[in-house]
Structure 1
Amino acid sequence: MAPFVAQVPLRWTDQDAYRHVNHARIVTLIEEARVALAFTGAGAEGLTGFASGLLVANLQVDYRRQLPWRAEPVRVEITVRELRAASFTLYYELHDGPGADDPVAVTASTRMALYDLDAQRPRRLTEDERDYLKRHLEEVS
């Protein structure tokens, strides 16, 4: 298992009055990393189903330390923690810097549900989508 890694740039407007990344902006950084995994990465391999219907069913964020604003991007490592027929859970580690050895400032998880927008109902993962996600599957004991 290898995590999916996204380097997410910080914007000047991400910081609060204390020059730290605002807690609400953390959710946006998580979203940008998820888009890199599910839309950009999967799309580069011809998998377009995620981009046509993927909903956040649950979000949990744990702030372990403040994340100061800086010009360098945030390294976001994403692993798949649970893979079900019509949903999966992504686990995120936001590092305080662009490197793998930089400390983890935020952890988060999102339970993602696949949705057929045309039919207006949930749908199942295709075998190719499942194989793509399995590359980042982390067995949690």
Structure 2
Amino acid sequence: MHDVHMRWSDMDAYRHVNNTAYLTYLEQARVAMFFDRFVSFADGTVIAKHEITYLRPVIYHPEPLRIEAWVDTIRGASFVVHYEVLDEGVVAARASTQCVTVDFAHDRPRRLTDEEREVLRGFADEPASAR
């Protein structure tokens, strides 16, 4: 779980949080989840794909949004992070991000290490709304 604060500038002309702001919210949750805590992910992970399903509009308010995040589909050089964006306890969006580990020195994907796999398995879970 991670809380993210909306910015007034995240709203668009329709007076709700713009769809592009969600990518920033997801990034904040993902970085807090493991990139801030496990240097190997921060030193060599890129984003291959995002998918977001918007379920209801979010109107700016000072309370943070809650991001529930979990990992699955751990493969040789990639994994998927899933999210639920909760606005005052109600799911406003569901999303996923495919992350690929990369060897930047050789500019190609690299296999996940055993340690990285163990870290990712620690985040294998399901959303709170499914429990």
Same fold (TM over 0.5): yes
CA-based RMSD: 1.3
Is 1:131 equivalent to 2:118 in the alignment?
yes
Is 1:95 equivalent to 2:86 in the alignment?
yes
Query: What is aligned with 2:129?
Result: none
Residue 75 of structure 1, CA deviation: 0.4
Paired amino acid for 1:128? E
Partners of 1:79 and 1:32 in 2: how far apart? Answer: 14
Paired amino acid for 2:47? V
Is 1:82 equivalent to 2:73 in the alignment?
yes
SS at match of 2:15: coil
Aligned mate of 1:68, from 59, 69, 85 = 59
Query: What is aligned with 1:114?
Result: 101
Partners of 2:68 and 2:11 in 1: how far apart? Answer: 21
User: Percent same amino acid at aligned positions?
Assistant: 41
Equivalences for residues 53-64 of structure 1 within 5 A: 53-64=44-55
Residue 72 of structure 1, CA deviation: 1.0
Contact kept in structure 2, 1:82 and 1:137, CA below 8 Å: no
Query: What is aligned with 1:7?
Result: 3
Residue 18 of structure 1, CA deviation: 3.0
Query: What is aligned with 1:30?
Result: 26
Unaligned residue ranges in structure 1 (runs of 5+) = none
Aligned mate of 1:105, from 63, 73, 92 = 92
Partners of 2:3 and 2:116 in 1: how far apart? Answer: 23
Residue 117 of structure 1, CA deviation: 1.2
Aligned length: 126
Paired amino acid for 1:70? H
Residue 31 of structure 1, CA deviation: 1.2
